[in-house]
Every structure is written in C-alpha cells, then in structure tokens.
Amino acid sequence: MQKCDKVYAGGRKRNLSNGKFCASAKGMVIIMDNKAMYKLSYGLFVLCAAENGKDNACIINTAVQVTTEPNRITIAVNKGNLTHDMIANTGVFTVSVLDASTTFELIKNFGFQSGRNADKFSGIPCKRTSNGTMRLEENSSAFISAKVISSTDLGTHTLFLAEVTDCEVLSDKEPLTYAYYQSNIKPKPERQKKKGFVCTVCGYFHEGDELPEDFVCPICGHGASDFEAAEV
Ligand SMILES: Cc1cc2nc3c(=O)[nH]c(=O)nc-3n(C[C@H](O)[C@H](O)[C@H](O)COP(=O)(O)O)c2cc1C
C-alpha cells in the first residue's frame, strides 16, 4: 500500500478522474484499479466431463496446481455451465492443456456454446481417459484427470479441489496462455469505418455524408472541388 499524503475524512471513498476510486484508512491510500487483475497469468484448458453416456467440455482458464504432494488441482467452474453440473454429479473430470496451435474455432466450439444445445466433441479427435472422461488428441500438450475431493460454493462459481489420478505429457508444444489467446487468437473487433471526404491537396478528412458546395478546407483553404469521397 502507498503512504497517503492527504488523509481523507473517515475512510470514505473518493472518485478519481481516471475512473478508479481511492479510499483512505488510517493514513493509507487504497486505489482500486481492477486492471491490476489483468496482470495475473493463466493457461487455457478444455475441461472435460461425462455423465450418463454424454460427453461434454468447456473452456476454462482457472486450472491451478495447488499442492504437489498429494498432487492436487483446483478448477473454478460457473454454476450455469453444463460441465459444472456433470462434474458435481460424477466427481471426476479431465483437463486438456491447450497448446499455442489452438484455433479460435476450437475455443468457440468449447467456450462459446453450451453442451445443452450441441455435441461439442463431434469431429474433434479425442480419446477416453481412465476416469471415463475425454481428452483432446490435437492442440493439447498434456492432460490431467482428477477426482473431486471437495467443492466450495463461491456464489457464481464452484471451486472444485481434486486429486490428480492420471496425467500425461502429449507434446513439447508451448502451452497456450490466456494472454497469447487475447493478443493472437481472439479476433479483434472490426473498427467501424468513417464515411466522408478527403482533401486531395493536404489529406484533411471531413466526416459526413455530404460536403457543402461552399466548403473550404480548414487546413489548406482549398474548396469542395478538391475533395473526393473516402472511407477511413
Ligand atoms: C477464454 C475463455 C475462458 C473461460 N474460462 C472459464 C472458467 O475459468 N470457468 C468457467 O466456468 N467458464 C469459463 N469460460 C466459459 C465457458 O467455457 C462457457 O460458458 C461454455 O460455453 C460452457 O459450456 P457448457 O455449458 O457446455 O459447460 C471461459 C470461456 C472462454 C472463451
């Protein structure tokens, strides 16, 4: 925590001009800049479950090894996900560790639709693991199968603590990180093009559907006849 220069009355919050807020407590300034959370590093995984003959999986970024001996991991799964209910009911799952060759199509297949409305494993090369759940055969550098030991209710999510029962390295390819997915795999939103007129003399761009006949370029002083329609 930073030392406070100004002590605000009674620990009240104060809005700062940059959208963050600031509070004081006993002379210490607390700045809640939620962008700090983006600095945490994560991997990306396909979390596989199986129940009553149905296979399903979803994308998660929350698989973490929490102890080595015994070898235990946690996963945080949204209660709205079908995969959540399948794991809660069966107590087993497999985490396929995605590698950097993963396509956006694969992320979309497992992460942007629910197994309630789709057979997500259709056309996906996969194998059944020792606990009865699937693992990916492609785009995956390892798999980790596990058995749930405890479940903690986190409100929107359940945190499953699980014992690793089977795991294997499948390739030497770099594991996919959440940061790499954000900057290299996830498509960038298309920028809306601006319609207008560009001055052919100086390049000044005037935004709008029409250019008045008496328009004069504010940069070089040329008239409307020196403008042509453009999209930028
Ligand atoms: C990049 C990415 C990361 C995600 N991380 C998580 C996660 O950690 N936990 C979770 O419950 N859902 C996560 N999701 C959302 C689920 O994958 C998504 O809601 C999925 O459609 C649920 O499918 P299901 O209903 O078949 O289980 C993530 C999705 C994406 C695209």
pLDDT at 18: 57
56 lines ligand 1 (CB under 6 A): yes
Per-residue pLDDT of the chain (232 residues; tens, 9 = 90+): 444 444 444 445 555 555 566 666 667 778 889 899 989 999 999 999 999 999 999 999 999 999 999 999 999 999 999 999 999 999 999 999 999 999 999 999 999 999 999 999 999 999 999 999 999 999 999 999 999 999 999 999 999 999 999 999 999 999 999 999 999 999 988 888 899 999 999 999 999 999 999 999 999 999 999 999 999 8
From the CA of 82, how far away is ligand 1's center (Å)? 10
From the CA of 111, how far away is ligand 1's center (Å)? 5
Q: Which atom of ligand 1 is nearest to the CA of 49?
A: 27
From CA 40, how far away is CA 55, in angstroms rounded?
Answer: 31
pTM across the whole model: 0.80
Beta-strand ranges (E) seen in 79-120 are 92-98
81 lines ligand 1 (CB under 6 A): yes
From CA 214, how far away is CA 223, in angstroms rounded?
Answer: 7
From the CA of 59, how far away is ligand 1's center (Å)? 4
Nearest CA to ligand 1 atom 18: 111
Q: What tokens does 150 get? A: 């405890």
114 lines ligand 1 (CB under 6 A): yes
pLDDT at 222: 93
pLDDT at 189: 84
From the CA of 156, how far away is ligand 1's center (Å)? 13
pLDDT at 23: 65
Q: What tokens does 190 get? A: 């298309």
